């Protein structure tokens, strides 16, 4: 329990940084600093260029790291301070910058945050994948990862809306108040620093029990790096999982970029109303935490992935469609609680999906060890993270382009400042069109083939191989001697 909690806590800080990039940055630079939305979204998307190299390299390096602190923890202890500094810098640009300078500042600081997050995030996920070899126990480990991801994201939202962005007479929509943003950034940075260090510190006692690189494994080099990537990409199950995650992340990125706009300008919700959505997300993530591993034991991971993805793609679109049809509006009695109910269902589907995919990656690592003789959690989780970040960047870019395409006004202080046709187009993109990449991901996940039975066979073969490798040389020679003598006796 202590190990699961300590591992999961690290994802809470990753969620804080993720929320900073995925939800708040575009709103801050566009509506607070009044930089054109498509400029900011291009800058954030461009920040992924370095990630195309960083994520897999960190994964390969951590797979091959030999140290007193094992393979993962040296990286996890090195990253927290730079992460906190970059998180603070995003929301504290120099006052002298014009719109172009602010765009460049956003792109550079977000890019640097992504780089230092990769140093922590990739080894941390790989650590979760190797804590247990058991098919369903891995799902429990990743359930803690998902639960604390919710704690980080929901906690950030609750603290922001309660203590930093409450409604004021001048700013009834508190997130549009420019004054609290620097203080909010400081709180996020310090929280992330403390949480990341705690996760690394309280999981260090597992280091002696974690898989170690084979002594014969070559040191990191450009050639070995591409060998690692090639080994990972020859696994068909991994390729389909990666393609599915790519399109899933596009849906998440697009909705993440537009969600606050829809909440503030279409549903006309205040900060005080928005903060209660923590109830819906908690209900959803708690449901997933309790039942995801049980679903994997009963229905297998593939079926769980497919059905949870259908729910995650479709459920958020329902209230939006009802809003477009005029069935629901800000005047609807109990609107906030209706939306919270849909949020609970959507959060449950998303969390079950994330737990399932993360657990499946650990099963793929077993397949690759059986095939290639090496553990590759680092490279497997890194390319998964890269696909997610790449598509989230594309989603954010699309969100900025959508805001420009629908002519969303800069500096709007509320629903009254936005034309009805612009609001219609906003929620059409946020609720309905954004679901299309998720449905494409469904086709890819349907090609995944690992089952509980096939994984048990893989584990049995690995145990047999490890037992054989652990036998003393003299025992192997004694076992081989009768077979070698048999031909002579026959003569």
421 lies in some domain: yes
Summarised one tens digit per residue, pLDDT across range 442-456 is 999 999 998 888 888
Is the predicted pLDDT of residue 470 greater than 90, yes or no? no
Supply the DSSP string of 323-357, one letter for each residue: HHTTS--TTSTTHHHHHHHHHHHHHHHHHHHHHHH
CB proximity list for 54: less than 8 A, separation 6 or greater? 114, 115, 118
Full-model pTM = 0.71
387 lies in some domain: yes
Residues 159-182: b if buried by 16+ CB within 10 A, e if exposed: bbbeebbbbeeebebbbbbeebbe
Summarised one tens digit per residue, pLDDT across range 411-432 is 777 788 888 899 999 989 988 8
The stretch 339-362 carries a mean pLDDT of: 89
Asked if 395 and 245 count as a contact pair (C-beta separation under 8 A), the reply is no
470 lies in some domain: no
pLDDT of res. 288: 86
117 lies in some domain: yes
CATH of the domain at 423: 1.20.1250.20
Q: What is the 3-state secondary structure (H, E, C) of 269-319?
A: CCHHHHCCHHHHHHHHHHHHHHHHHHHHHHHHHHHHHHHHHHHHHHCCHHH
pLDDT of res. 19: 72
Is the predicted pLDDT of residue 469 greater than 80, yes or no? no
pLDDT of res. 491: 40
Q: Tell me, what DSSP letter sits at residue 264? A: I
111 lies in some domain: yes
Query: Into how many domains does the chain fold?
Result: 1
- 113 to each of 36, 59, 208, 291, 483, how far by Cα in Å? 22, 17, 31, 34, 61
310 lies in some domain: yes
482 lies in some domain: no
Summarised one tens digit per residue, pLDDT across range 221-264 is 778 888 888 888 888 998 998 899 888 888 888 887 788 889 88
CB proximity list for 120: less than 8 A, separation 6 or greater? 10, 14, 75, 76, 79, 80, 83, 196
The stretch 363-383 carries a mean pLDDT of: 80
Q: Report the candidate in 364, 398, 433, 355 with the shortest Cα–Cα distance to residue 142.
A: 355
Q: Tell me, what DSSP letter sits at residue 217? A: P
Summarised one tens digit per residue, pLDDT across range 257-309 is 788 889 888 998 887 888 888 888 888 888 888 888 888 888 888 999 999 99
CA distance 104 to 122: 26
428 lies in some domain: yes
Give me the domain span that covers residue 94. 2-205+214-458
Positions of E strands within 186-295: none
């Amino acid at each position: 329990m202590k190990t699961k909690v300590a591992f999961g806590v690290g994802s809470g800080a990753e969620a804080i940084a993720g929320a900073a990039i995925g939800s708040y940055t575009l709103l801050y630079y566009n509506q607070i600093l009044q930089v054109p939305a498509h400029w900011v979204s291009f800058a954030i998307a461009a920040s992924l260029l370095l990630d195309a190299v960083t994520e897999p390299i960190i994964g390969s390096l951590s797979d091959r790291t030999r140290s007193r602190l094992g393979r993962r923890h040296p990286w996890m202890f090195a990253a927290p301070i730079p992460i906190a500094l970059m998180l603070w810098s995003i929301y504290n640009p120099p006052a002298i910058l014009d719109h172009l300078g602010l765009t460049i500042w956003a792109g550079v600081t977000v890019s640097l945050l992504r780089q230092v997050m990769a140093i922590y995030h990739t080894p941390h996920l790989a650590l979760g994948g190797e804590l247990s070899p058991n098919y369903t126990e891995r799902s429990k480990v990743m359930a803690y990862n998902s639960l604390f991801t919710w704690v980080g994201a929901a906690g950030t939202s609750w603290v922001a809306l309660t203590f930093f962005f409450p409604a004021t007479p001048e700013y009834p929509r508190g997130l549009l108040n420019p004054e609290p943003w620097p203080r909010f950034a400081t709180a996020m940075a310090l929280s992330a620093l403390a949480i990341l260090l705690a996760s690394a510190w309280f999981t260090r006692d597992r280091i002696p029990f974690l898989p170690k690189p084979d002594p014969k494994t070559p040191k990191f080099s450009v050639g070995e790096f591409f060998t690692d990537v090639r080994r990972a990409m020859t696994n068909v199950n991994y390729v389909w999982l990666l393609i599915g995650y790519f399109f899933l992340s596009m849906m998440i990125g697009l909705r993440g970029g537009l969600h606050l706009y829809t909440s503030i300008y279409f549903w006309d919700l205040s900060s005080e109303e928005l903060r209660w959505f923590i109830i819906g997300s908690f209900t959803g993530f708690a449901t997933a935490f309790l039942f995801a591993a049980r679903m994997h034991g009963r229905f297998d991971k593939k079926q769980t992935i497919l059905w949870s993805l259908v729910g995650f793609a479709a459920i958020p679109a329902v209230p939006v469609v009802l809003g477009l049809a005029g069935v629901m509006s800000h005047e609807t009695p109990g609107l906030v609680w209706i939306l919270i109910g849909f949020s609970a269902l959507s959060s449950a589907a998303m969390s079950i999906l994330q737990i399932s995919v993360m657990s499946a990656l650990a099963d793929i690592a077993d397949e690759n060890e059986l095939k290639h003789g090496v553990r590759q959690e680092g490279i497997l989780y890194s390319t998964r993270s890269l696909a997610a970040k790449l598509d989230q960047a594309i989603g954010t870019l699309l969100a900025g382009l959508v805001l420009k395409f629908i002519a969303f006004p800069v500096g709007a202080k509320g629903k009254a400042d936005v034309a009805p046709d612009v609001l219609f187009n906003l929620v059409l993109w946020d609720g309905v069109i954004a679901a299309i990449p998720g449905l494409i991901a469904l086709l890819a996940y349907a090609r995944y083939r690992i089952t509980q039975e096939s994984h048990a066979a893989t584990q049995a073969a690995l145990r047999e191989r490890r037992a054989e490798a652990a036998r003393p040389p003299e025992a192997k020679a004694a076992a081989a001697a009768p077979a070698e003598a048999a031909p002579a006796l026959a003569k």
